Amino acid sequence: MATPAAAVAPQGYFARLGLLVAQGLLQLVRLPSHSRRAEAGRALARRTLLLMAAAAVGIVALMFVLDAREITWMPPRGTAGLWPLRIVTEFGKGDYVLAALLIALAVIVLIAPRLRGVAHATLLGLGTRVQFLYLAVLLPILTGELLKVVVGRGRPFVGGEPYAFHFSHFSWSEAYASFPSGHATASCALAFAVSALWPRWRGVMIAYAVIVIGTRLVLLAHHPSDVLGGALNGVLGAMVVRYWFAARRLAFVIRSDGGIVPLHGPTPRQLSQAARQVFAA
């Protein structure tokens, strides 16, 4: 979201709303300004290569050693007693995650022009962070959808027998859209992004991602290597978006060693005060 400025002032609501939206978009595409962005870029490149190398070894090992066996360990597809897992797994569906974040962002954008002073700045700070969460999930989801089409890996139930090497590249078929797991992508991207902004939530978000990934395996929606690929895709995509924001001094700051840490955001007290001003308006 845009930073508070004197320009956002004595105009009508819709004029202020339009200005706010324009500033919020422009801040995302402006030239990077952080003096340490080169160090952060090198650190990102190193971590990306290490994660990709480790995950590649893990994915190949799982495909040959575990994927086919894991199918036989799970309950038959469609087992009635698995209905709670079918509910839980939806919390990692990319469409739902993105919709929830987009609604939250829309609410902030619609309310912010009605506020002034500290409450206005507080809501804008929250808006910037929701922007980050949305893009940190959107980018890896889009990448994952492209990979699904290119790889064309069959889901565990394809072929009617435990086999991990059914492929149909560019088939545009849901049955051959197993790698990478979209739920693992979305849940791991969200877990990384939330943890990047609010490190105290890291344990909760890791548990969330692990639970979602577990449901995909038990429900025979994916092979173990699919969820590992999805987790990698989600984390890498969120890391790229975090770097993009940090290079523009949005929600993050870059340390001298290239590490990226969150800026202090709106406190619960400030958000509470902003909410009171909203309801008082």
Cα-Cα-Cα-Cα dihedral sign, residues 158, 164, 167, 173: positive
Q: How many domains does the chain have?
A: 1
Per-residue pLDDT tens digits for 214-248: 999 999 999 999 999 999 999 999 999 999 999 99
Per-residue pLDDT tens digits for 33-80: 899 999 999 999 999 999 999 999 999 999 999 999 999 999 988 888
With respect to residue 244, please indicate whether it lies within any of the assigned structural domains: yes
Alpha helix locations (H) across the chain?
Answer: 13-29, 37-65, 67-73, 83-88, 94-111, 117-151, 182-197, 202-218, 224-247, 268-280
Using the predicted structure, report yes or no on whether residue 5 has a pLDDT greater than 50. no
Cα-Cα-Cα-Cα dihedral sign, residues 216, 98, 190, 236: positive
With respect to residue 199, please indicate whether it lies within any of the assigned structural domains: yes
Which helix (DSSP H) or strand (DSSP E) does residue 261 occupy?
strand 260-262
With respect to residue 20, please indicate whether it lies within any of the assigned structural domains: no
With respect to residue 16, please indicate whether it lies within any of the assigned structural domains: no
With respect to residue 23, please indicate whether it lies within any of the assigned structural domains: no
What pairs with residue 261 in β-bridges?
Answer: 253
pTM of the shown model: 0.92
Per-residue pLDDT tens digits for 164-175: 999 999 999 999
With respect to residue 11, please indicate whether it lies within any of the assigned structural domains: no
Q: What is the pLDDT of residue 6?
A: 43
With respect to residue 1, please indicate whether it lies within any of the assigned structural domains: no
Query: Hey, what are 99's tokens?
Result: 């919709």
With respect to residue 3, please indicate whether it lies within any of the assigned structural domains: no
Q: What is the pLDDT of residue 7?
A: 45
Look up the domain containing 122 and give its range.
Answer: 33-280
Average of pLDDT values for 188-194? 98
Per-residue pLDDT tens digits for 111-152: 988 888 888 889 999 999 999 999 999 999 999 999 999 999
